[in-house]
Amino acid sequence: MNWEKYHLPAHLQPILAAAPQVTVINSITELLAMVCGHADQSAFEVSYEVPGQGKIIEANVARVRNGIVVNYPEPYMRRRDPDCLIVADDKPTDKPTFQERFQQDFDLLRQETFAWLSTQPLILFGFTAGQKNMGSDAVAIVPQNAAFFAYGLAALQGITLDQAIPNDFQPQAIVYIAPPFRHTHFAGKQVVVHNRLDSGYEMFAYNLYPGPSAKKGIYGILIYQGEREGWITAHCSTVQVITPYDNILTIMHEGASGGGKSEMLEQAHREPDGRLLLGENIITHEQLFLEMPRSCRLRPVTDDMALCHPSLQSQAGKLVVTDAEDAWFVRINHIDHYGADPSLEALSAQPSEPLVFLNIDAVPNSRALIWEHIQDTPGKSCPNPRVIIPRHIVPDIINEPVTVDIRSFGVRTPPCSIEQPSYGIIGLFHILPAALAWLWRLVAPRGYANPSVIGTEAMDSEGVGAYWPFATGRRVDQANLLLAQFEQHTRTRYILCPNQHIGAWKVGFMPQWIAREYLARRGSAQFRAEQLRLARCPLLGYSLRHFQVEGRAVAPWFLQVELQPEVGMVAYEQGAQILYDFFHKELAQFIHPELASSGREIIECCLDEGCVEDYERFIPSVQ
């Protein structure tokens, strides 16, 4: 092997030289042939001998007609542990460090990891985190029997083929995969160690679920690069919406995991008769429907990670973004029956190239179907089934940068009623002043019944742009970068969308689908003063006085939740207090000497329970 071609760090070369075999990948097809050991095998058990514990099965891989299916014996390994990221270095950070958590320096485990890798048949390939000239060259080192993981990583991030490695390929990041250490050092927990060296970035993934490493771990590498260079990789989906009248609106939908990013790229789910089920009352079981003969055409841009690179910035006062990934890690727990999303079902059942399915019930040589979720326990489906879909097979995909008209923020909301008050008081959608929208991105509630991560039912924060769980630095630095972004793009508008519940009504993701259809038909989120009313809770900005789309009106209690008889003023006020308590607790972390002075003023306004008009004055919008 020509080591010089990859310009690998000096400490990595003896590891690869000692390994019994190193396969340098020349195509993603070559990886696919390896996922089950050999191209002619249809099933494979990914297991390791662990000292004192015997053989431990990490994953079972099945080759199916439309790709590969990966299932984990442990329910814990089927979704991301939000506390898995640990920082090994001594650079500035607000995250847990290896020394703090384990009372020892990481270097000893680093050397043990290198020693173990040197005994394994290995896979090596290069890729780019982000995009060329807007990201970092990187190399992955993966045990050969975990080829499915390498295949998923190559699908998500792309692959720089060995025969096409350019002379200027300079890996700033190395990704190491070493699954047995999860059991020998971390009591079976997911752990991903980030080591920010002066000479480059190291990421050590000690588990085989790709969420915290192949997906969010690479995201962390991009965040760190942007932190040093002054830009952000936003946690969002982006879609260009084309109305039946050929009007075009671009929406960027942000939020914590489970906040509706992938769903913003889907058509609204319809009933068999074509109607939209707006919601079902959880107390009376009444159902309300909306008739909308034609939906807008959707042109997806990003699914989860959007580069907001300085080279993309327009002069029109609006944010410009482009995708940071080569494939999308799409959660499909809400697709629980045939016909729920015909376009995604067809795309995944008969794809033009093999896909990766996780937590899907399928046997070797069958066809994986995205509504067939495995069960965590008898009668309880896994909440986090996934499929990795390459961008280039997505219909109507946009590969160029786009200008953002509306930035939406999604929140998973619990039911709210007189008997059980909660923060589920957000109406169909709210219009936010830019300063208030910035605060929502600082607190970034993870929300109710989150399917993507392990956690509790209590209101929790994903923090700083909803990408804080993947960052390795300081909150204040990311808060300042976000604030500068909001202050610079004064023609982009901001809305807030709930999902799951509006008061006592179960609504799923319908609010953001309806908001998307409505705003695209309007052409903007710019409203006249008489069309809006101040939300009873100032943290929610403005609500609409009236709402109708395609001539169909929506009941006012979907816009102003306090009007629901099951909620009323008392439960609403209790829910508002829950929100205020949450904002106060989370925002206190950002009062820092290095926070921009305008940011401090905005936060102090919230802590003093200022009004919506106060927020308007901080970052005035431009027509």
Whose CA is closest to 355, among 127, 24, 35, 26?
A: 35
> Do the beta carbons of residue 340 and residue 517 sit within 8 Å?
no
Beta-bridge partner residues of 127: 138
In terms of C-beta density within 10 A (0-12 exposed, 13-18 middle, 19 or more buried), how is residue 40 classed? Answer: exposed
The three-point CA angle 274-280-284 to 5° equals: 140
Q: Could you read off the pLDDT of 217-255 as tens digits, one per residue?
A: 999 999 999 999 999 999 999 999 999 989 999 999 999
Q: Could you read off the pLDDT of 79-90 as tens digits, one per residue?
A: 999 899 999 999
Q: Could you read off the pLDDT of 380-419 as tens digits, one per residue?
A: 999 999 999 999 999 999 999 999 999 999 999 999 999 9
Q: In this model, does residue 66 exceed pLDDT 60?
A: yes
Beta-bridge partner residues of 23: 123
**Residue 585 Cα distances to 49, 212, 602, angstroms:** 45, 26, 15
Whose CA is closest to 217, among 165, 174, 261?
A: 174
Q: In this model, does residue 63 exceed pLDDT 60?
A: yes
- Rounded to 5 degrees, φ, ψ at 552 are -105, 125
pLDDT band at 1 (very low <50, low <70, confident <90, very high): low
Type of residue numbered 11: H
Q: Could you read off the pLDDT of 534-572 as tens digits, one per residue?
A: 999 999 999 999 999 888 899 999 999 999 999 999 999
Q: In this model, does residue 77 exceed pLDDT 70?
A: yes
Beta-bridge partner residues of 289: 277
Query: Which residues, in sequence order, are CB contacts of 235 under 8 Å at separation 6+?
Result: 219, 254, 255, 256, 261, 304, 305, 465, 466, 467
- How high is the mean pLDDT of the chain? 95
Beta-bridge partner residues of 239: 251, 300
User: What confidence score (pLDDT) does residue 557 get?
Assistant: 95
Query: Which residues, in sequence order, are CB contacts of 227 under 8 Å at separation 6+?
Result: 471, 473, 477, 478, 481
Rounded distance between C-alpha atoms, residue 355 and residue 70, angstroms: 11
**Residue 60 Cα distances to 23, 57, 74, 192, 479, angstroms:** 22, 8, 11, 21, 41
Bridge-based pairing state of the strands 386-390 and 327-331: antiparallel
Q: Could you read off the pLDDT of 575-621 as tens digits, one per residue?
A: 999 999 999 999 999 999 999 999 999 999 999 999 999 999 999 98
User: What confidence score (pLDDT) does residue 537 get?
Assistant: 98
Query: Which residues, in sequence order, are CB contacts of 585 under 8 Å at separation 6+?
Result: none
Residue whose pair of structure tokens reads 């991030």 in the numeric block: 157
Average pLDDT rounded to a whole number, residues 210-217:
95
Q: Could you read off the pLDDT of 292-312 as tens digits, one per residue?
A: 999 999 999 999 999 999 999
Q: What percent of the chain has pLDDT over 70?
A: 98
Q: What is the DSSP letter of 561?
A: G
Listing DSSP states for 22-45 in one string gives EEE-S-HHHHHHHTTSSTT-SEEE
Whose CA is closest to 535, among 570, 496, 509?
A: 496
Rounded distance between C-alpha atoms, residue 538 and residue 610, angstroms: 8
pLDDT band at 313 (very low <50, low <70, confident <90, very high): confident
Rounded distance between C-alpha atoms, residue 333 and residue 351, angstroms: 20
Q: Which domains does the chain have, with CATH numbers?
A: 3-229 (3.40.449.10), 233-319+404-618 (3.90.228.20)
Q: What is the pTM of this model?
A: 0.94
Listing DSSP states for 313-326 in one string gives --SSSS-EEEE--S
Rounded distance between C-alpha atoms, residue 505 and residue 281, angstroms: 4
Q: Could you read off the pLDDT of 330-355 as tens digits, one per residue?
A: 999 999 999 999 999 999 999 999 99
SS3 state of residue 143: strand
Rounded distance between C-alpha atoms, residue 95 and residue 407, angstroms: 28
- Dihedral (CA of 71, 263, 505, 426) sign: positive
Average pLDDT rounded to a whole number, residues 204-215:
96
